[in-house]
Amino acid sequence: MTDSPAPSHARALSQAQRRALSELVRVFPVIDEIGERFDRAGHELHLVGGSVRDALLGRLGNDLDFTTSATPDQTLDLLKGWAETTWETGREFGTIGAARRGLRLEITTYRAEAYDGVSRNPVVEYGTGLEDDLRRRDFTVNAMAVSVPGHAFTDPYGGLEDLAAGVLRTPGTPRQSFGDDPLRMLRAARFAAQLEFDVDPPVVAAMTEMATDLRRITAERIRDEFTKLLAGEDPVAGLRLLVDTGLADQFLPELSGLKLEIDEHAQHKDVYEHTLIVLRNAMRLEKDGPDFVLRMAALMHDVGKPATKAIGPDGRVSFHHHEVVGARLTKVRMKALKYPKDTISAVVELVSLHLRFYGYGRGEWTDSAVRRYVTDAGDLLSRLHLLTRSDVTTRNRRKAAALAADYDALEERIARIQAEEDLARVRPDLDGNAIMELLDIPAGPLVGKAWRHLKELRLEHGPLDHDEAVAELYRWGREHGIEVDRPAGTG
């Protein structure tokens, strides 16, 4: 590696950082390959943004970002015969995508884009050089570049120092940066969560002053940034920043609304603090990396409490049916953010079911109740286990231990019943065809009612043998005015 020849904005790299960037090029020789193609054609090409930042942090990813003096058309020409595939979905912003040897490359023409302060997307203007491009970056730690194939390091805004300090600053003034693109305020919270960095106080002040500018941004872009934030290493830090600056009020007001509600189960902290603890608990239980559905359910599980808060004659606070109200609020909010239907359904169902376990330790659950618990949870059962365990935040060690033991017992009971019955696929002991044949009725609503009746029996009593199921069907048929030839109680 060699430093940039322009001393006004060059930053000296430590030996460790040089090794990190050299390792990036060694592991991914594609970087120099593409650099040589652009260099031979007389164009500049620089590895830039998160790719440089992450290499300096020792995190090598498979997505590489470049900036270039070449136009999109020239970039496409240079990629022909070299890239395994290309795409132009970002062409309106000057970006061409390419794939090579398992890597995703995005190559963007130098930009000096501007926003009109009203529209939700930038008006793209091509810049005249690298510094124009770096000036429009969101944060200084993303405004560093390495030329390829020359490997000259360029850092005009002190990104290297900020990276070492673990702080997020903007290349220009925060107000100007966020005025250009209000989504950068969410990115600040996202990077605080993802990189575990502090946010510079002037940046926080601008986020607070300009929070309402987020209304200029589409729901889809907000959703994508928020999803990345929640999947970060420390989403709680990012969420706190959203609430403290008022940004959460613009797209997730239910989170801020928890701050004043006192949790009757743990009066030393409010529901807002309880929720953040539940989120952290859920993260500790994850086995295969960030689980957005679980994390979102943990975040939303108590959002119904503000609307259901009541104070009894004895002064105790209650939130009756807050899981029902919370599920409804969660569905509305996630639909507004345009999450996929299956994702919404999963999170809503977990919020709805998160209180179902309580009461098990009092010995009130029959095998029927256990079957219904498993059947209602369906494919979400493993997540429901994690969410329910995460919801125990009491400081009373005896109470926490008792709840954990109760849930251990429930899981053992589920395992025992599952070993005896296929609870994951609970079906009536007779299918629709058998129901129509035995009752001599055509397809229609009556068949569905009979099917549901038999399923309820299956949940209540477990599997019935064939003759018992037939007898129960005949009994039901008679009760509903259907003539049955065979006497009740026979198969």
**CATH number for 173:** 1.10.110.30
The arithmetic mean of pLDDT across residues 156-177, rounded, is 93
Between CA 272 and CA 252 the distance in angstroms is 13
The arithmetic mean of pLDDT across residues 109-116, rounded, is 71
Q: Which residue has the higher pLDDT, 105 or 23?
A: 105
286 and 354 in a common domain:
yes
Instruction: Identify the pLDDT of residue 391.
Output: 92
26-55 pLDDT, tens digit per residue, is 778 899 999 999 999 999 999 999 989 988
| C-beta atoms surrounding 77 within 10 Å | 12
286 and 159 in a common domain:
no
Between CA 214 and CA 185 the distance in angstroms is 8
The arithmetic mean of pLDDT across residues 149-162, rounded, is 91
Asked if residue 362 belongs to a domain, the reply is yes
Strand 103-109 and strand 95-100: pairing? Answer: antiparallel
The CATH number that applies at residue 11 is: 3.30.460.10
The arithmetic mean of pLDDT across residues 277-300, rounded, is 96
Instruction: Identify the pLDDT of residue 118.
Output: 57
Q: Which residue has the higher pLDDT, 160 or 124?
A: 160
Contact status, residue 305 vs residue 261, Cβ threshold 8 Å: yes
The arithmetic mean of pLDDT across residues 452-468, rounded, is 72
- Percent of the chain exceeding pLDDT 90 equals 52
Instruction: Determine which of 180-189, 228-237, 466-475 has the lowest per-residue pLDDT on average.
Output: 466-475
378 and 230 in a common domain:
no
Asked if residue 174 belongs to a domain, the reply is yes
Instruction: Identify the pLDDT of residue 286.
Output: 95
| Measured CA distances, 202 to 164, 174, 243 (Å) | 19, 7, 17
266 and 126 in a common domain:
no
- Is the confidence at residue 362, as pLDDT, over 80? no
27 and 138 in a common domain:
yes
454 and 435 in a common domain:
yes
Q: Which residue has the higher pLDDT, 106 or 310?
A: 106
Domain end point (choices 400, 423, 446)? 423
Domain residue limits at 468: 427-479
Residues 6+ apart with CB under 8 A from 278: 298, 301, 302, 387, 390, 391, 393
| Measured CA distances, 16 to 20, 145, 196 (Å) | 6, 17, 21
The arithmetic mean of pLDDT across residues 319-334, rounded, is 93
Contact status, residue 168 vs residue 188, Cβ threshold 8 Å: yes
Categorize the per-residue pLDDT at 365 as very low, low, confident or very high, splitting at 50, 70 and 90: confident
- Is the confidence at residue 448, as pLDDT, over 80? no
Mean pLDDT over each residue of the chain, to the nearest integer? 85
215 and 157 in a common domain:
no
Instruction: Determine which of 69-83, 108-122, 157-171, 374-388 has the lowest per-residue pLDDT on average.
Output: 108-122
185-234 pLDDT, tens digit per residue, is 999 999 999 999 999 999 999 999 999 999 999 999 999 999 999 999 99
Asked if residue 41 belongs to a domain, the reply is yes
195 and 124 in a common domain:
no
Between CA 44 and CA 157 the distance in angstroms is 20
Instruction: Determine which of 2-11, 160-169, 381-390, 471-480 has the lowest per-residue pLDDT on average.
Output: 2-11
**Look-up: residue for tokens 């006192």?**
262
Residue type, 153: F
194 and 274 in a common domain:
no
The arithmetic mean of pLDDT across residues 404-432, rounded, is 72
342 and 262 in a common domain:
yes
Residue type, 417: I
Instruction: Identify the pLDDT of residue 12.
Output: 58
Instruction: Determine which of 119-133, 154-168, 436-450 has the lowest per-residue pLDDT on average.
Output: 119-133
Q: Which residue has the higher pLDDT, 330 or 489?
A: 330
Q: HEC states along the chain?
A: CEECCCCCCCCCCCHHHHHHHHHHHHHCCHHHHHHHHHHHCCCCEEEECHHHHHHHCCCCCCEEEEEECCCHHHHHHHHCCCCCEEECCCHHHCEEEEEECCEEEEEEECECCECCCCCCCCECCECCCHHHHHHCCCCHHHCCEEECCCCEEECCCCHHHHHHHCEECCCCCHHHHHHHCCHHHHHHHHHHHHCCCEECHHHHHHHHHCHHHHHHCCHHHHHHHHHHHHCCCCHHHHHHHHHHHCCHHHHCHHHHHHHHCECCCCCCCEHHHHHHHHHHHHHHHCCCCCCHHHHHHHHHCCCCHHHHCEECCCCCEECCCHHHHHHHHHHHHHHHCCCCHHHHHHHHHHHHHCCCCCCHHHCCCCHHHHHHHHHHHHHHHHHHHHHHHHCCCCCCHHHHHHHHHHHHHHHHHHHHHHHHCCHHHCCCCCCHHHHHHHHCCCCCHHHHHHHHHHHHHHHHHCCCCHHHHHHHHHHHHHHCCCCCCCCCCCC
418 and 437 in a common domain:
no
Asked if residue 407 belongs to a domain, the reply is yes
Asked if residue 488 belongs to a domain, the reply is no
Contact status, residue 111 vs residue 95, Cβ threshold 8 Å: no
Domain end point (choices 165, 195, 221)? 165
- Percent of the chain exceeding pLDDT 70 equals 86
pTM of the model as a whole: 0.79
Cβ-in-10-Å burial (0-12, 13-18, 19+) of 261 comes to buried
User: Which two three-digit tokens encode residue 327?
Assistant: 């599920």
Instruction: Identify the pLDDT of residue 404.
Output: 84
Instruction: Identify the pLDDT of residue 262.
Output: 54
Instruction: Identify the pLDDT of residue 1.
Output: 44
Instruction: Identify the pLDDT of residue 490.
Output: 45
Asked if residue 490 belongs to a domain, the reply is no
343 and 409 in a common domain:
yes
The arithmetic mean of pLDDT across residues 335-343, rounded, is 97
Total domains in the fold of the chain: 4
| Measured CA distances, 64 to 31, 32, 44, 51, 441 (Å) | 9, 12, 16, 6, 64
Instruction: Identify the pLDDT of residue 279.
Output: 97
Between CA 193 and CA 203 the distance in angstroms is 16
Question: Any bridge partners for residue 85, and if so which?
Answer: 99
Contact status, residue 359 vs residue 410, Cβ threshold 8 Å: no
Instruction: Identify the pLDDT of residue 62.
Output: 82
Asked if residue 485 belongs to a domain, the reply is no
Domain end point (choices 215, 234, 251)? 251
Instruction: Identify the pLDDT of residue 198.
Output: 95
The arithmetic mean of pLDDT across residues 307-332, rounded, is 86
Instruction: Identify the pLDDT of residue 384.
Output: 94
Asked if residue 199 belongs to a domain, the reply is yes
Dihedral Cα 236, 242, 243, 247, nearest 10 deg: -160
Dihedral Cα 391, 397, 400, 402, nearest 10 deg: 180
Instruction: Identify the pLDDT of residue 246.
Output: 97
